[in-house]
A and B are shown apart, each in its own frame.
Chain A
Amino acid sequence: MIRITTNSINPADVLAQVGDDSSGGVVLFLGQTRDHSRGEKVIGLEYEAYENLALKQMEKIAAETRQRWPIRTIAIVHRTGYLKVGEISVAIAVACAHRGEAFEACRFAIDTLKKTVPIWKKEFRPDGSFWVEGVPIQIVEKMTTENLTESSEKPQLPWWQETVGMFKDDPAFDKIVELAQAIREKERREAEQAE
């Protein structure tokens, strides 16, 4: 079941769409509207979709998830319109033979949805209403587990501040220092000659 609805989402209805006797694990993800965002109080959220394309993208997510994990069934439902805090904005249910693949597949589906489906949300706060800054729409088939990690989980450091390894006790460290000194020395000599 792939659906966009203005009605409230009932998790039991979504679960009823997946699972059969061959499914040993069913994972249900519910996204609900939160009462805060980046330190600001939130009263409600309004969701808007480009419905034709959004449904098409959700179908692609289901197909892509099926291709990557041995899932039996998948259901994806997204709500649009105004939601109060605590209401369900999105539900994804995945049924698999085993729980591990069900968890992974469901995670992939929700992470991919956030980046590939043309839906926008506006936060209603005590100080006004604001469109949430999103991400440029991406191609479902190109999503990888790595680029799906949420930015809140992985601090985004510029590359030169990232620690990729330690080489304090590595003989390569002395060699690098030696080479760098040689390069600097060469540049200094060239600069002197140029003068």
Chain B
Amino acid sequence: MKITVQLFAILREAAGAGQLDLDVPAQTTARQVAQILAERFPKFRAHLNTLSFAVNGEIVSAETKITSPGEVALLPPVSGG
């Protein structure tokens, strides 16, 4: 299943890209997407426990399964304002 992963801030810099295409098994959870990327980008590891997730523009829990191709966003703690 093809997904597009959106990366922001510290994760975007760690990966050197704001967007990545990834092929993952169906039923992969949002958290597992982050774990898969942490193998490719070791700097992600320090952030795995503080991440939040959005799937197709909706905030979801880390255990949400991704059931169709789409966009998964890894959201580090926010600091707007």
Contacts and interface: CB of A to CB of B under 8 A. Distances in A.
A136 B52 contact: yes
Nearest to B81: A114
Nearest to B73: A50
Interface in B28-61: 50, 52, 54, 57, 59
Q: Which of A49, A115, A137 has the most CB of B within 10 A?
A: A137
Contact of B8 (A48, A110, A116, A136): A48
Interface in A33-61: 47-50, 52-54, 56
Interface string A71-108: 00000001000000000011000000000000000000
Interface stretch (A8-16, A119-127, A165-173): A119-127
B78 A31 contact: no
Interface string A115-154: 1111111100000000111111101000000000000000
A154 B59 CA distance: 28
Contacts of B80: 47, 49, 54, 78, 90, 113-114, 117-121
A89 B50 CA distance: 25
Given A48-B8, A48-B9, A118 B75 contact: yes
B4 interface: no
B59 A120 contact: no
Interface string B1-23: 00000101110100000000000
A193 B59 CA distance: 57
Interface of chain B, helix or strand or loop or mixed?
A: mixed
A7 B10 CA distance: 24
A90 B81 contact: yes
Given A50-B6, A118-B54, A134 B59 contact: no
B77 interface: yes
A133 B79 contact: yes
A118 B81 contact: no
Contact of A137 (B6, B12, B57, B77): B77
A53 B79 contact: no
Nearest to A135: B77
A119 B59 contact: no
Interface of A: 31, 47-50, 52-54, 56, 78, 89-90, 110, 113-122, 131-137, 139
